[in-house]
Amino acid sequence: MSKIVVFGAGGRAGRAAVAEARGRGHHVTAVVRDPAKYGDLGDEGVRVVPGDVTDPSAITVIAAGHDAAISAVYDPGADQHDFFVGAAQALADGLGQAGVGRLVVVGLASILETSSGVKLMDTPGYPQEYRSFYLGHAAGTDALRAAATTLDWLVISPAGDFDHGGARSARYRTARADAASRISYADFAIAMLDEIEAPRHHRTHLGVEEG
């Protein structure tokens, strides 16, 4: 049994991570902007707290005493580059100060490489209206790579997209980027928790899909 802190616990990926962690018997601290809006997250073994993922000092206080962290954060009102870079730097600093050794970050398939070595966002016909969002995620991953930290981090994303209505199958596999690939939130959470309980991939971006 471990203590896991989940930043961005109010979103669909964050909620799935909280549920999977509790199902495995872990104690969870669920970090959201406004706990009053997420009363349904509170449960036996789940503590809901406010927090700012771009504030390293706040992260250190919240994460103290935890074994691992998950980041499933997103701020639609922020400059995407500044937000994801700021969050990555704050997590690397704050978690390091708190003594947390493992971080799993929810990433984006758009910046994952396909089997041909081209990033999914650069393949013909891929939607470009959210490119600033894609590039923000990419900059956040680059910030983790550049951070002077011993933190064992992993960025993990669907190989294509979430199956928003998909059920838990308890089956997944690693995969290169593929726009047609899908994975349910529940199975994605299984992959995240597997990488916390028994880390197999380190300081890289991993894609997963149903399988």
CATH code, 126: 3.40.50.720
pTM confidence score:
0.97
Angle at 180 between CA 127 and CA 19, to 5 degrees: 100
pLDDT of residue 1: 79
Containing structural domain, residue 127: 3-210
pLDDT along the chain (211 residues), means of 10: 96 98 98 95 93 98 99 97 99 98 99 98 97 98 96 99 98 98 99 98 98 91
The total domain count for the chain is: 1
pLDDT, tens digit, 9 for 90 and up, residues 106-116: 999 999 999 99
Provide the token pair at 45: 């073994």
* Token pair 């999914």: residue: 120
Strand partners, 5: 29, 69
Angle at 140 between CA 138 and CA 145, to 5 degrees: 95
pLDDT of residue 45: 92
Which of 195, 26, 182, 29 minimizes the C-alpha distance to 105?
195
pLDDT of residue 207: 99
- Contact call for residues 154 and 201 (beta carbons, < 8 A): yes
